[in-house]
Amino acid sequence: MFHWLEKNPFFFSLAFVAVFSIAGLVEILPGFAKTARPLEGLRPYSVLETAGRQVYIEEGCYNCHSQLIRPFKSETDRYGPYSLSGEYAYDRPFLWGSKRTGPDLHRVGDIRSTDWHANHMWEPTSVVPGSIMPSYKPLYSSKTDFDTAYAEAYTQKVVFGVPYDTKGGVELGSVEQAKANFLKEAGVIVADMNDPKVAEAYKKGEVPKIVALIAYLNSLGQSRRVAQGQ
């Protein structure tokens, strides 16, 4: 057989490519699967954070902000530790982005507070002089879509096996349980925002989109490596 292949360069090339490809896959795939596993202690997004992530996508924030810190000193000095693949295990879709009109946000939860985000989203230049980012005032009066966020989290659990409802982890539970946790978590954000109109909407049982978005932004960083409630 090998003698025949030596006399037929075309088929020899095909056989070489086939063998080389199989060997490459055997070598690469196990390592890829290992690095793609969730980091130890990484928790899924809560329903409120999921709702905020949906707002982030809806508003096209990924068009101007990346969520991928490369292993270069210039980036780690500015944005924090470089990103690891296991940090994105529960992200569907990934929001790496490819443009930085604004700064990278993958560690923004480690360096910014709720009230900073509240002021920044209302009037960017109030905290970042010269900022070209637009104001997002409509988010302060638009209501968060809890049902869609819960459906997204439930799909992540059932279809993709995201570990909700595990000991020491993020509780999803029934719709009623999730709604109670959603409102409780939102209450913490609302209190830190110190915005009377947002607080008034919350008293009526409504959660403005800005609350969910800030919850999501606060989750970006080292905090997601610690199980909720610990």
What tens digit of pLDDT does each residue of 68-113 get? 999 999 999 999 999 999 999 999 999 999 889 999 999 999 999 9
- Full-prediction pTM beyond 0.75? yes
How high is the pLDDT of residue 23? 62
Q: In the chain, what percentage of residues exceed pLDDT 90? A: 74
Q: Which residue has the higher pLDDT, 34 or 193?
A: 193
Give dist(CA 207, CA 198) in Å, integer.
8
Instruction: Match domain 47-219 to its CATH number in 3.40.50.920, 3.40.720.10, 1.10.760.10, 1.10.357.10.
Output: 1.10.760.10
Domain boundaries, the chain: 6-35, 47-219
Whether the pLDDT of residue 116 is over 80: the answer is yes
> One-letter amino acid identity for 1?
M
Is residue 82 packed enough to be buried (19+ CB in 10 Å), middle (13-18) or exposed (0-12)? middle
Q: In the chain, what percentage of residues exceed pLDDT 70? A: 83
Buried b (16+ CB within 10 A) or exposed e, 129-138: eeeebeebee
Choice among 39-43, 73-77, 139-143, 155-159 with the minimum mean pLDDT: 39-43
